[in-house]
Amino acid sequence: MSISKVLYTARATVDGGREGKSVSGDGRLDVALAPPAELGGSGNGTNPEQLFAAGFAACFHSALKLVARKEKLDVTGSTVAAEVGIGPLTEGVGYGLSAHLVVRVPGLDRAVAERLVEAADQVCPYSNATRGNIPVSRTVA
4-14: per-residue pLDDT in tens?
Answer: 999 999 999 99
Q: How far is CA 8 from CA 11, 19, 55, 56, 70, in A?
A: 10, 28, 15, 17, 23
pTM for this predicted structure: 0.95
Quick one: pLDDT at residue 19? 96
Any idea which architecture 1-46 has in CATH?
Answer: Single Sheet (2.20)
- Output the pLDDT for position 107: 92
Cα-based distances in Å from 59 to 41, 69, 74, 128: 28, 15, 18, 11
- What CA–CA distance (Å, rounded) separates 107 from 77? 9
Q: What is the pLDDT of residue 63?
A: 98
Q: State the pLDDT at residue 83.
A: 98
> In which residue ranges of the chain is pLDDT below 70?
none
- Residue 92: predicted pLDDT: 83
* The CATH number fitting domain 48-140, selected from 3.90.700.10, 3.30.300.20, 3.30.43.10, 3.30.590.20: 3.30.300.20
